[in-house]
Amino acid sequence: MRRFLIPFAAAALLVVSQGTQAQAFPNKPIRLVAPFAPGGALDLIARGIGEKMSVSMGQSVIVENRAGASGAIGSEAVARSAPDGYTLLLGATTTHGINPALNPKLTYDPVKDFTPISLVATIPHILVVNPSVPANSLQEFVQLAKSKPGMAFGSAGNGSPHHLAGEMLKMMAHIDVVHVPYKGSGPAMVDLIAGQTQFMSVELTAAAPHLKAGKLRALAIATAKRVPGVDLPTVAESGYPGFEVTAWYAIFGPVGMPDELASRLNAEIVKALATPDLRDRLQKVGATPVGSSAAELAAHVRAELARWTQVVNAAGIKVE
């Protein structure tokens, strides 16, 4: 009889220990890894969330920028960390959707090596052209591209969301266009405005000031439905259903995180995103605050992986 009681007691002790750990959490600063350089939407979102969670949880949430390899360095660091809730990742479309689709030798698995916690925010891409391009709609642009093969589109680099979006339009619209990779979306936008390239798929936040100044013209937004406050038709409405390109941002922990800790963190993130001032800050840069369940984030990652893998394979894109 005693032999059966010992494992039962050990299991009960483990449950009590995990519950105590969740109740005491956090008792030291939390590290939120932003896997890209300071500046830009991801960094802004990380710091906004971190500030709110610091106040709510009574412990500092320190944003640590660990850039490199299109977000892979910071992502791997979190994947290899202890699953105690004190090391988190603000992952994105690139780290958990595009990188795995592009690189079969990636040092982490976006599904198996992480605990999904919450989708945080999304920023839609829009298709823009240089004002010298004689097209006021996506339909007109496609007709023009078919009559003038070889028009160029820029991107933040080979395998970036901007690149894959251009390749997707190329395949769906059956147009002959040329990809020009840059070292970042900033230089790509500079050349687009200068007329060195003709079009680009880019985050609404990055394009907004140039649209206002008349330096770019918007043709369509790459979302499933129209976005309130943005007077643009969707790419689907323009004749290409299924064309969706949205930059998304989500918080993950390392695999093996206890459910109690993941649930606590999820609740804190959702609460932070519900605060009016943070929502206003995010909306001012074109981001839509979300706040999802862990299950919803897990399903989102799997869907993104499948979609981008299909695009990469169909376009024959290889990692350099």
pLDDT of residue 46: 93
- Per residue in 143-165, pLDDT (tens digit) is 999 999 999 999 888 888 899 99
pLDDT of residue 158: 83
- Per residue in 269-298, pLDDT (tens digit) is 999 999 999 999 888 777 899 999 999 999
Buried b (16+ CB within 10 A) or exposed e, 191-215: bbbeeebbbbbbbbbbbbebeeeeb
Confidence of residue 11 (pLDDT cuts 50, 70, 90): very low
Q: Pick the residue with more confidence: 195 or 18?
A: 195
Tokens describing residue 35: 């896997």
**H or E element: which one contains 65?**
strand 61-65
Query: How far apart, in whole angstroms, are the C-alpha atoms of residue 251 and residue 265?
Result: 9
Least confident among 9-18, 135-144, 272-281: 9-18
- Per residue in 92-102, pLDDT (tens digit) is 999 999 999 99
Percent of the chain predicted with pLDDT > 90 = 69
- Per residue in 178-192, pLDDT (tens digit) is 999 987 788 899 999
CB 125 within 8 A of CB 202: yes
Query: How far apart, in whole angstroms, are the C-alpha atoms of residue 46 and residue 35?
Result: 10
The DSSP output letter for 110 is T
> To the nearest whole number, what is the mean pLDDT of the chain?
89
Longest dimension (CA), the chain: 85
Query: How far apart, in whole angstroms, are the C-alpha atoms of residue 99 and residue 74?
Result: 13
pLDDT of residue 23: 61
